[in-house]
Structure 1
Amino acid sequence: MTLQDKLDAMRDDFENGRFPLVPTRAQLQTMQRATQALIDSGQAENALRAGDRAPEFMLQDANGDSVSSRALLARGALVATFYRGVWCPYCNYDLQALEEVRAEVEVRGASLAALSPQTLANSRKSQRDTKLGFPILSDPGAAVAAEFGLRFALPNDLIEVYRQFGNDLPKINDDPAWVLPMPARYVIGMDGMIAYAEVNPDYTQRPDPAELLPVLNGLRARTQA
């Protein structure tokens, strides 16, 4: 079963009352309307893409240690994935799928890092729950996500639904703003240029991590030439 198969099955369970959290029809409609509005906004098309230079960043990992993109890129290519947070089951499946290919990524000389606006404590919880062998970096205010063109503000009706679900983003992120990154996956070469970009305003859709491997093969071949 592919990652997207798992996500589709989870979405079907959620929308048909087979999930621990059972939404009302009105809540579902609000969520679907917000996703469609984000798609229609065209923001994903304006995010950074392959051929653009990636912004540099320095963020804290779950242990509070500083991690810089420059240091990661000095060792090899970087796979950077932006995700919403520990509270998002789609994101957790995505992280687990990345962990499953981590060895394949690392054998190609690359490293993985996940970026989320959540607090360090929530990153630690996310790391424990998903048993990751790569760092989760805290991106306060989704500031780095904004540099990549990924940050968006939640509409008021969706904020109310999230509150009803108990997803208190100001508490989870220690930030009064109700902002999130669109889920995105980037491969950044050692030269700082983006070699692969996948951004989807529909958080239930994620690319298969296997797509990363040919890109990493190409980058490695280029550095060894």
Structure 2
Amino acid sequence: MTLQHKLDAMREDFENGRFPLVPTRDQLDTMQRATQSLIDSEQADYALKAGDTAPEFTLADAAGATVNSRALLARGPLIATFYRGVWCPYCNYDLQALEEIRPEIEARGASLVAISPQTPANSRKAQRDNKLGFPILSDAGAAVAADYGLRFALPDDLIEVYKAFGNDLPTINDDAAWVLPMPASYVIGMDGTIAYAEVNPDYTRRPDPSELLPVLDRLRADAQA
């Protein structure tokens, strides 16, 4: 089963009351309206794309160690996925799918990181719960997400829905602002140029991680040419 098939099944269960958290019709309408509004804003069209230069970042991992993108790129290509947080089941499925192909990513000489506005403690929980062998980096205030054109502010009615669900982002992220990154995946070449970009304002839609492997193969072939 592909990642998108799993996400579609989860969405169907959630919307039809077959989920531990059962939303009301009004809550579902609010969530769908907010997603459509973000799509209609066309913000995703202004996020960084293939061919752009990736902004350098230095962030802390779940253990508090500093991770620098330039140092990672000195060793090989970098896959950076922007992750909403441990509270988002769609994102967790995405991370699990990335973990499944991590050996193939690393066999191609590439590094893999997830970037989230959540605190290191919540990143540790996400790594533990999803059995991840790659780091989740804490992007306070979604500042790096903003550099990539991904950060957006949640509308007030969606904030109330998230509060009702127990998703208290100011506590989860240790930041009073209700901001998140649009889910996105980037493959960055060793020269810092983005070789692949997938940005989707609909958090229930994600590319299959297997799409990243041909990009890494192409980068390796270009380096050997």
Could you tell me the TM-score, scaled by structure 1's length? 1.00
- Residue in structure 2 matched with residue 198 of structure 1 by the alignment: 198
Could you say what secondary structure the match of 2:180 adopts?
strand
What is the alpha-carbon distance in structure 1 between the residues aligned to residue 88 and residue 221 of structure 2? 36
- Would you say 1:163 and 2:168 are equivalent positions? no
Alignment: residue pair count: 225
The residue identity in structure 1 corresponding to 2:168 is D
The residue identity in structure 1 corresponding to 2:205 is Q
What is the alpha-carbon distance in structure 2 between the residues aligned to residue 122 and residue 63 of structure 1? 11
- Residue in structure 2 matched with residue 69 of structure 1 by the alignment: 69
CA RMSD of aligned residues (A): 0.4
Over the matched positions of the two proteins, sequence identity in percent amounts to 81
- Residue in structure 2 matched with residue 221 of structure 1 by the alignment: 221
Could you say what secondary structure the match of 2:74 adopts?
helix
Residues 1-225 of structure 1 aligned to structure 2 (within 5 Å): 1-225=1-225
Structure 1 runs of 4+ with >6 Å offset: none
Deviations 1:6-56 (Å, cap 9, x if unpaired)?
000000000000000000000000000000000000000110000000000
- Listed as ranges, the gaps of 5+ residues in structure 2 are none
What is the alpha-carbon distance in structure 2 between the residues aligned to residue 29 and residue 68 of structure 1? 40
What is the alpha-carbon distance in structure 1 between the residues aligned to residue 4 and residue 171 of structure 2? 30
Could you say what secondary structure the match of 1:95 adopts?
helix
Deviations 1:168-210 (Å, cap 9, x if unpaired)?
0000000000000000000000000000000000000000001
1:221 positional shift: 1.0
What is the alpha-carbon distance in structure 1 between the residues aligned to residue 74 and residue 221 of structure 2? 16
Could you say what secondary structure the match of 1:53 adopts?
coil
What is the alpha-carbon distance in structure 1 between the residues aligned to residue 73 and residue 137 of structure 2? 15
Could you say what secondary structure the match of 2:196 adopts?
strand
The residue identity in structure 1 corresponding to 2:24 is T
The residue identity in structure 2 corresponding to 1:54 is A
Deviations 1:93-112 (Å, cap 9, x if unpaired)?
00000000001111111010
1:160 positional shift: 0.3
What is the alpha-carbon distance in structure 1 between the residues aligned to residue 123 and residue 74 of structure 2? 25
- Listed as ranges, the gaps of 5+ residues in structure 1 are none
What is the alpha-carbon distance in structure 2 between the residues aligned to residue 7 and residue 67 of structure 1? 30
What is the alpha-carbon distance in structure 2 between the residues aligned to residue 186 and residue 138 of structure 1? 17
Could you say what secondary structure the match of 1:114 adopts?
strand
What is the alpha-carbon distance in structure 2 between the residues aligned to residue 108 and residue 120 of structure 1? 28
The residue identity in structure 2 corresponding to 1:194 is I
What is the alpha-carbon distance in structure 1 between the residues aligned to residue 223 and residue 36 of structure 2? 41
1:223 positional shift: 1.4
Could you say what secondary structure the match of 1:187 adopts?
strand
